[in-house]
Amino acid sequence: MDWTTVVECLKIIADPSTDGKTFKLINPYTHEPVADGWRDLSPDDRGAYLRKLSHLIKENMPELARLESISMGKPVSLYIEGKHAQGTSSVNTPDLLSISLRRPYGVSAFAAKSIAEAGFPPGVVNIISGFRSSAGSAISSHMDMRCLSFTGSTSAGQNFSIHFTSGQTCIANYRIYVQESVADKFIAVFKEKFGAARRMGNPFEPTTNHGPQADNIQYERVTSYLETGEKDGKLTMGGDGGKGFIKPTVFENVPDDSRLMKEEVFGPVVAINTFKIEEAIERVNTSEFGLYASVFTKDMDRAVRLSKLLEAGTVGVNSTSPTMVKVMPIGGYKQSGLGREGLLSGLDSYLETKTVLISSSS
C-alpha cells in the first residue's frame, strides 16, 4: 500500500456520518456478522484478540525497538518483561505486614500495525497522533468519549493538552536524602557508579545505555534546570553534554524550595541532600508529586513505618525505580495522578458499577 492510498483511505474513514445510524457488516459468503459489538464479547473472546496481538508484538520486537529508538532516543539495550502472577497482602493486623505469593508457570507480554493483523473489529482501537494542545483538547472535550486516561507530565495533565531512558521517566529518583553519618561515603560511591555505568552514544548501538533527550525542547528544558542547580546548589558532577545529550549530573546542597527540587526535571539529574534523623520525611512530603519513593535501611520495622508515612503511590524498600510489579496497583499521590493502573486496579477505571434490584413480592 503506497502513501497516496493510505491518505485516500484516511479521507474516506474521516468522512462524517450523515445520519448517525449504524449497521452490522455481514459477510456475503457466510451471511454472518463480521464481528460482534466489542462490548458484548465475553472476556474469553476478547482475550483471543489480545493473545494474537501479543504474539504479533513479539514477532515485531526488533522493528518496534527501532521505531522507539528513532522517535525517543531510547537505547535499544533497554528491555523490560513483566511477570503477571498476583498474590494478596494485608496491613489490617497491627504491627504485621502479611503477604501471599503466587509463583508463575510462565510469562506473557503493543503496536498499531499488529492490531489489524490480530483481527480486532474496526473502531475498537483508534490511534490518533497530534500535539497535546490540539489533539488532547479535542479528545478531552469530546462528549462521546466515556472514559479518558493519559500518561505524561503534570503540566500535560493540567493543560490536558535517572538513568533509565536518560532520566526521562516519571518514576526517576531525582531527589536523594542521605543520613549525615554515611553521606560522604554514599555520595562518593554513587557518583562513581552513576558515571561509570553510563555509555552515551548512538541509541542503535547495543552497548549504548544513555541516549539523548527526546527532542530539542526537552534538551533546552533540562539545561535550564542545570542553570538553576548551579545557581542554588553545588554542581559536583556532569552537566550539559551538547548535541542533545545531558551527562549524568549530580547537585549537592540544593535548598528544598529550589525549582530543581520542586519540579519534574525529566533528565539524568540528581540532587543529593543530607538529613540527621527522620526530618527528611517532612521535607520529602512537601513535594507536590508522589508517584514513587524509596527507603534504604536494614531496619525492616523502620522501613514499613516510613513506607506508610511517605506520600507516594509506590514505595520501594531497598530498591529504586524503575523497580515495579505490574500485578500491584500503580499510581500517584497529589499532582502525580488520579486512579491506579495495573491488572484489576487499572480495569476498574474502565468499568461502571450497576445495581440491579429484583423484587420477589409479585
Residue 109 in 3-state DSSP?
Answer: coil
Asked if 198 contacts 211 with a C-beta cutoff of 8 angstroms, the reply is no
Which domains can be identified in the chain, with CATH numbers?
3-141 (3.40.605.10), 159-317 (3.40.309.10)
pLDDT in tens, 212-228: 887 888 899 999 999 99
**pLDDT tens, position by position, 97-127:** 555 544 332 222 235 677 778 887 777 777 7
- pTM of the prediction? 0.56
Residue whose C-alpha cell is 553510563: 198
Q: Are 248 and 163 within 8 A, CB to CB?
A: yes
Distance, in Å, from the CA atom of 61 to the CA atom of 243, rounded to the nearest integer, reads 28
Transcribe 226-277 into DSSP letters. Answer: HHHHHHHSEEEE--EEETTEE--EEEES--TTSHHHHS---SSEEEEEEESS
List, in order, residues 6 or more apart from 280 with CB less than 8 Å away. Answer: 177
Strands (E), the chain: 89-90, 98-99, 175-179, 234-237, 240-242, 245-246, 249-252, 269-275, 289-290, 292-295, 314-317, 333-334
Give the pLDDT of residue 15: 46
Question: What are the mean pLDDT values of the chain's consecutive 10-residue runs (362 residues total)?
Answer: 38 47 62 66 80 85 77 67 52 58 33 75 73 69 67 52 51 85 92 83 84 86 95 94 91 94 89 89 87 89 89 85 70 73 68 70 62
Angle at which helices 61-72 and 43-59 cross, to 10°: 80
Provide the residue type at 293 as one letter.
Answer: A
Question: How many residues does this entry show for the chain?
Answer: 362
CA–CA gap between residue 177 and residue 184 (Å, rounded):
12
